[in-house]
Every structure is written in C-alpha cells, then in structure tokens.
C-alpha cells in the first residue's frame, strides 16, 4: 500500500464531502434526535494559537448592557441577595436580586450594591452600649471576628460612640459586663467620601485594626478592616456603570399590579436592569408589564421570560424586551416538566430561541441546567449570550442562609422558587397578592398550591469570588481547546459551521466521565 505525501495532509481534506462532525443545525435536528440536553453532545476541538488567559468573554445580556463575564446569578431567595450581587459584579458578571421579600428590603439590597466601594464594609455588625460581652463572644464564634463598632442605637447610621476589639474582652471572665464599661472611646475615624487609598493610609499610621467611616453628624456609615485590606484585590473585570462608576445590579419582579410599586422603589435605589420573573413568560400579564415599563422608564433595560420556543420569544420581542431568558423545567430543583408535562430540553430550547432572537439583535440568557463548566460552554455554543446560575452558586459563602453540618458535610439549604417552602412565605403586609414564588407560577389565588420545585441541600463551595474565578478560567480554557479567542468569534464560528459538534450515546457519556476506579477524589480547582 502506498501512502500520501505527509507534507500535504491538509490538501487532501477537501476530498471528503463534509467537515468532520456535525454543524449546529444538523446536531439540533429534532426530527432525528428529539430534544437534547447539554450532556447529549460534545464540541469538537479546533486549532490553538493563543494562550487561554488571552480569551475574552465579553458579551451582551441586553441590547445596551455588556458584561466582561457572561454570568448572572439567579433571582432565587437561596442564591442572590446583596452579597452575591456585589461579588458577581466585581467578577464581571451581574447579580439579579430575588423578590421573595418586602419591596423595601429588596430596594435596600439594590442600594447596598450601588453604594458598595471595594474594601469598605457597608453593612458591618453593630452593637449598642447596652449589649454585653456575651454578645461579642457570640458574634466571634459565628463570624470569626470581634472588632465591633458601637452606636447609640446599636444600628448602622446611628451615632458612633465607641468600638470593642479582641483586646477589650480578652481577659474578661464576666460575660454580663456591659460594653459601655469596656469599649474604647478614643476613636480614629474617617469622613464619608474618603478614598480607599487615603483610608488605607489612616489605618497604617494609626496602627488600628478597624477604621469607622462617619458622616458629618458622626453617624456610622461603613467600616474598613485592616484584615480585609490585606486580602483586598483589584477587580479589573468589574461590571460598572459608565456614568456613575457604581457596580451594576439587577433585580426581579413579577407581573402583577403591585409589582409596579415595587419597581418604582427599585428604580429609585439605582437599579440597572429588571428581570420579569415568570416560569412561563408568554402571557398577557408580562406583555402589558413590558409595555408599561418601557413607557414609564424608557431608559431601563428589561429582560423578559422565561421562554423555550420561538413563538413565545416573538411576542416578548414585539413588546419591547431587551433580553430574553430561556428555560422551563431544567433546573436541578425544578419539577415543572415532571408535574406540568410542559417545557423543553434545555439545549434545544437555547438553540432554537437564541437563533431566532439573534436576528433581532436581542441577547439571550440560558437559565437552568447549568451544572459545570462544560454546560456553560455548551449553552454559549448554542447561541446564548450569557448563562444564569442558581444551583451552581448555591452553597457559596455569599448565598443567603446559614451553614449546617450533616453526616460530616457542611451544607446550605437550596430551594426552588416553585417549592411549597418558597410559596409559603407570608408578606408582612398580609393581603391576597401572594409572594414572588406564587406569582411566578400564577398560583396566588389557588386554595391548593401545586409544587413545581423542591427543597434540597448543597455542599459548601467556599467564596463565590474564588469559585466563579474557577468557572471563568475553565470557560477560557474550553474556548482555547475549541480554537476561539473570544465569545464573539465563538458564536460566529458556530453559525458559520466552523465549530463542529458530535452527539453522545449513553456509553460515550459514561466514557467521558470518571470510570473504572475503586474510589477517587474530585477536586475541581486550586487557587494560590
């Protein structure tokens, strides 16, 4: 047998009728394959001629908002409050604050994100002079610190009268001692508006561990910690408003009349983008809400959804949506497809809706079914501009809730917004309007609540600032393997047929995971 000339190997490729693998359209042919999930296919590798850290992930989430990292945290009450939103924005993404709470509380969370300055603690633990040493010790046991500012009323924005540190209580045996008897009143403070650099200089020269920040009336507005400054990082990817330089933040609302009042409070607090939160977004309620928002707040970006078909998306686009959220029943804690027999496999939904929305310049967000880095990349490959994550971020330090131990594992609760637990949250104001969960599933007036989600536990993942950094690096390395140095180039190459795909059998999926071992340890990442 004679062999071809090795030096001309590329020249023989055109002899084949088609490129290796499948185009995205051939992959997603429902007539042949039915609906697909992220695990049903792989992306074939390309040619590497760049370093992974040179890969740019910049992408739009609405017509006018571009993020450097295409990540959104889900508006779930066990995922996104102000701490998560701050961290997501610092890392180049954005947090969408849940609305299963009073409107005033949600607006205050938005305000915390907008007023955040990297390095300043905007919601420090505060005690009053009438608290005791026992209270300080309890805080130390729970949070790991005991440098606590003391205000007259024991709350932020109260008049600062002292500070209690570890040295003040170190040798005290009487836990009932009042803090007014031991607190330090010789205070070094800085005025509101001080720069981080200047505050750092004051801390260094005063040799103090904490620097309270006060306004003109001497009221505590924030706190600076030496230990936090030592750990403080620069966040070059951070999502900020071009005008105010404040962090970007989103929030969710429903589509009922009282949500208009909620939105007014959120806009007043500085909201950048609103997400209309519904399990089935193609409703008269959502269409009317989009039109009302666009008329009342023409500069506010609106992400509508959720949808899984072109027909659903078309109505929302016509109404004025700036972004579309895709997914119905694909989340790890969602049982909509099982209970309602309604929804669509997520990979197929993302491709079909994104391909349609792309023609109108409307970005799409893949929401649900994201369980690892590979799923993020596959969602982006199918046309999504960004991904929204719930379960993947649940269990991080910044997610709401307390850690607890069970059978040697450190866990946090994570629940679907369609769970009975979430639907049972009562408004302090009472009334029959329901809460965020019941509105999301159109169940406010139902005597019997039908669950579309469950309650579960997730493992402690540590800080989202480290965990999301791992996700970002993982996506960059994946795009490097595929041969695309930017998300924009990735999308173009998919639609041009340059990026190729392969379907996976059940055996192929097993082969692609860990197998053949007696036991193993799976560490996802390490950071230095």
Q: What is the pLDDT of residue 232?
A: 52
Token pair in block for residue 333: 């804690």
First to last CA, the chain: 54
For 29, phi then psi, to 5°, come to -70, 105
Nearest to 77 by CA among 47, 34, 43, 106: 106
SS3 for 214-235, per residue? ECCCCEEEEEEEHHHHHHCCCC
Rounded Cα distance between 87 and 196, Å, is 18
Give pLDDT, residue 180: 87
At 146-172, the pLDDT tens digits run 778 999 999 989 999 999 887 888 777
Neighbour-count burial of 18, counting CB atoms closer than 10 A to its CB (0-12 exposed, 13-18 middle, 19+ buried): exposed
| Spatial distance between the Cα atoms of 36 and 509, rounded to a whole number of angstroms | 13
| Nearest-angstrom CA–CA distance, 234 and 178 | 40
Contact partners, residue 521, CB within 8 Å, separation at least 6: none
CB 366 within 8 A of CB 387: yes
What phi and psi values does residue 44 have, to the nearest 5 degrees? Answer: -75, 145
CB-count exposure of residue 218 (10 Å: 0-12, 13-18, 19+): middle
Contact 303, 275 (CB under 8 A): yes
Query: Contact 306/280 with Cβ under 8 angstroms?
Result: yes
Strand positions, DSSP E, 340-499: 364-367, 386-389, 404-406, 409-415, 455-459
Query: Which residues contact residue 400 at a Cβ distance below 8 angstroms, ignoring those fewer than 6 apart?
Result: 77, 78, 79, 80, 81, 84
Q: Give the model's pLDDT for residue 18.
A: 87
Q: Whole-angstrom Cα distance, residue 207 to residue 190?
A: 14
Alpha helices in 19-76 (DSSP H): 24-27, 30-33
CA distance 94 to 87: 8
Q: Report pLDDT for 373.
A: 96
Provide the residue count of the chain.
528
CB atoms within 10 A of CB 30: 11
Distance of alpha carbon 17 from alpha carbon 24, whole angstroms: 17
Query: What pTM was computed for the model?
Result: 0.81
List the structure tokens of 132: 């005791």
pLDDT at 514: 85
Residue 353's Cα: distance from chain center in Å?
22
Question: What positions carry a catalytic annotation?
Answer: 334, 440
Distant-in-sequence, close-in-space partners of 242: CB < 8 Å, separation ≥ 6: none
User: What pLDDT, on a 0 to 100 scale, did the predictor assign at position 419?
Assistant: 64
Going 437 to 439 to 441 to 444, the CA torsion angle's sign is positive
Ranges assigned E (strand) in 233-309 = 250-253, 273-276, 301-307
How high is the pLDDT of residue 431? 43
* C-alpha–C-alpha distance, residues 129 and 171, integer Å: 19
Q: Is the dihedral of CA 94, 77, 79, 309 positive or negative?
A: negative
Tokens of 411: 């866990």
pLDDT attached to residue 193: 84
Q: Which residues of the chain have pLDDT under 50?
A: 430-432
């Amino acid at each position: 047998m004679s062999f071809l000339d090795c030096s001309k190997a590329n020249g023989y490729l055109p002899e084949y009728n088609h490129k290796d693998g499948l185009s995205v359209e051939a992959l997603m042919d429902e007539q042949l394959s039915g609906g697909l999930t992220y695990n049903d296919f792989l992306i074939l590798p390309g040619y590497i001629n760049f370093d992974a850290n040179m890969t740019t992930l910049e992408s739009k989430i609405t017509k006018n908002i571009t993020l450097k990292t295409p990540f959104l945290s889900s508006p779930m009450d066990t995922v996104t409050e102000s701490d998560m939103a701050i961290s997501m924005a610092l890392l180049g993404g954005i947090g969408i604050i849940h609305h299963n709470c009073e409107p005033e509380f949600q607006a205050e969370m938005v305000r915390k994100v907008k007023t955040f300055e990297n390095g300043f603690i905007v919601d420090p633990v505060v005690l009053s002079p009438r608290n005791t040493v026992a209270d300080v010790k309890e805080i130390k046991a729970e949070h790991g610190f005991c440098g606590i500012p003391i205000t007259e009323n024991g709350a932020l924005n109260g008049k600062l009268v002292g500070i209690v540190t570890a040295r003040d209580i170190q040798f005290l045996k009487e836990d009932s001692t009042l803090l007014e008897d031991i607190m330090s009143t010789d205070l070094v403070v800085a005025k509101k508006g001080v720069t981080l650099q200047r505050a750092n200089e004051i801390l260094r020269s005063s040799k103090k561990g904490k620097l309270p920040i006060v306004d003109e009336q001497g009221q505590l507005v924030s706190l600076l910690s030496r230990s936090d400054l030592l750990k403080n990082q620069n966040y070059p990817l951070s999502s900020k408003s071009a005008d105010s330089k404040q962090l970007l933040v989103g929030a969710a609302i429903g589509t009922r009349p009282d949500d208009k009042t909620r939105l007014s409070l959120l806009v007043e607090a500085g909201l950048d983008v609103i997400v209309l939160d519904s399990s089935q977004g193609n409703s008269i309620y959502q269409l009317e809400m989009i039109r009302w928002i666009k008329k009342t707040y023409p500069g506010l970006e609106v992400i509508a959804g959720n949808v899984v078909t072109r027909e659903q998306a078309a109505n929302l686009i016509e109404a004025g949506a700036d972004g579309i959220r895709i997914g119905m029943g694909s989340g790890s804690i969602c049982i909509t497809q099982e209970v309602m027999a309604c929804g669509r496999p997520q990979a197929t939904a993302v491709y079909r809706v994104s391909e349609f929305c792309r023609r109108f310049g409307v970005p799409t967000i893949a929401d649900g079914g994201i369980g690892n880095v590979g799923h993020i990349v596959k969602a982006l490959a199918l046309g999504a501009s960004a991904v929204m994550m719930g379960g993947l971020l649940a269990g991080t330090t910044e997610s709401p809730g307390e850690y607890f131990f069970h059978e040697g594992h450190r866990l946090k609760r994570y629940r679907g917004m369609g769970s009975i637990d979430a639907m049972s949250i009562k408004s302090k104001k009472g009334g029959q309007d329901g809460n965020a969960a019941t509105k999301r599933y159109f169940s406010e007036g139902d005597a019997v609540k039908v669950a579309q989600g469950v309650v579960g536990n997730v493992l402690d993942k540590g800080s989202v600032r480290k965990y999301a950094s791992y996700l970002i690096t993982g996506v960059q390395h994946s795009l490097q393997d595929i041969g695309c140095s930017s998300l924009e180039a990735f999308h173009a190459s998919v639609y041009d047929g340059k990026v190729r795909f392969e379907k996976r059998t059940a055996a192929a999926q097993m082969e692609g995971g860990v197998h053949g071992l007696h036991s193993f340890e799976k560490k996802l990442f390490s950071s230095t």
